[in-house]
Amino acid sequence: MQNTELAEDTSIVSSFPIAIITSVFNRDVTKALQEGAISQLLKRGFNEKDIKSFEVPGAVEIPLVAKRLAMQKAVQSIISLGAVIRGETSHYDLVCDMVSQGCLQVSLEYNIPVLFGVLTTDNEEQAWDRLGGKAGHKGVDVANAAISLHQTLSQL
């Protein structure tokens, strides 16, 4: 289900340092996620220099890079992007659990938003549905969520 209010937000905001970590596994899908997120950040007023992009081999590696970024305190938010598509083994469940728990742990331990833009789908068609198809564009959604959460945390 898509949060329509966030997905349609195009208001201009103040830029802040943000990192995007993208898994290259299922590259066609993750590239579209990354392009959607970056495009939305730029559309919302971000400076290109404030957007730091990093690539990792697979989704499991996202939390380690997120932790290193959080430790350095050079960015104020981290967006994680990946695509875990179910296969015929239990590997899917393990990967989904590891990356989601790892991102949550980094966020809570280092007090930094780590937004979860990792698609977890049963097949590639469902992934593409979430990249501009009937389920919206999750790259755009996660960029908007990062901005919204940053604004909320700035008020605390």
Q: Which residues are annotated as a binding site?
A: 25, 59-61, 83-85, 88-89, 116, 130
State how far the alpha carbon of 6 is from the alpha carbons of 2, 40, 139, 143, in Å. 9, 11, 12, 9
How many residues in the chain?
156
Is 150 among the residues known to form the active site? no
User: Which residues participate in the annotated binding site for 5-amino-6-(D-ribitylamino)uracil?
Assistant: 25, 59-61, 83-85, 116
Contacts of 90 (CB under 8 A, 6+ apart): none
Tokens of 131: 């990249």
Spot the catalytic one: 10, 57, 91, 149: 91
User: Which residues participate in the annotated binding site for (2S)-2-hydroxy-3-oxobutyl phosphate?
Assistant: 88-89, 130
Nearest CA to 139 among 116, 121, 155?
116
Query: Which residues have a catalytic role annotated?
Result: 91
